[in-house]
Amino acid sequence: MEANEIPVPYNVVGNPAPEFELEGYFNGELKKFSLADYKGKWVCLLFYPLDFTFVCPTEVLSFSEHAKDFTERNCQVLGISVDSQFVHKAWVETAKQDGGLGGKLNYPLLADINKEASFSYGVLNEDAGVALRGLFLIDPEGTVMHATINNLPVGRSAKEALRTLKAFQFVAAHEGQVCPADWDEGMDAMEATPEGMRNFLTSH
């Protein structure tokens, strides 16, 4: 392995989240952001290909609309693309009718110019030179608990990411219980035992 080569876990889920420190833009300010800044919080990393494109603004704005819901659950959303922090600033401040985000975004956009973060999370499309649509939920101890990766043409769901976050937070707070398919807040969970599984299946 070369000295500057980033090791990539075979599967980041269940492993420590790769660290990063990136320039970014948020709320009128250009500054550095690192994963370590959010130790003790959940983090939702939202990799996307490029600013000023097509599917990307629909995703970025959808997560902005739900940013308060993530914040209320002690989770910080961070958007990451290979654009510079200056392009992020221009994109946020450009009117929607001109392909921008309309002047306000409720979470930071980070600049992965050297593509190391995209590479270390396994979402770099080297042929296109951009990140795939990767979404990662990281727990307060820094472990990746969830990952989804879409190819470029199809966007992701902020509501589904929020549902998944609720499920992982539930099982973290309720030892011995697991969440069945399509579980959402207020629904029955399952004891992680053969008897618990049988009871759940027979009662649902």
pLDDT of residue 10: 56
Distance, CA of 108 to CA of 25 (rounded, Å): 6
Q: Which residue(s) pair with 178 in the sheet?
A: 190
pLDDT at 46 (0 to 100): 98
Residues 21-155, CATH architecture: 3-Layer(aba) Sandwich (3.40)
* Domain ranges across the chain: 21-155
CB count within 10 Å of CB 171 equals 16
CA 155 remoteness from chain centre: 13
Euclidean distance between CA atoms 149 and 128, whole angstroms: 16
Active site residues: 56
Q: For residue 44, what is the enclosing H or E element?
A: strand 42-47
The DSSP output letter for 134 is E
Tokens encoding 177: 């219980």
Task: Write down the pLDDT at residue 40.
Answer: 97
Q: What is the pLDDT of residues 53-95, one digit of tens each?
A: 999 999 999 999 999 999 999 999 999 999 999 999 999 999 9
Question: Global pTM?
Answer: 0.93
Query: Alpha-carbon torsion 67, 48, 54, 82, what sign?
Result: positive
pLDDT, tens digit (0-9, with 9 covering 90-100), for 13-61? 999 999 999 999 999 999 999 999 999 999 999 999 999 999 999 999 9
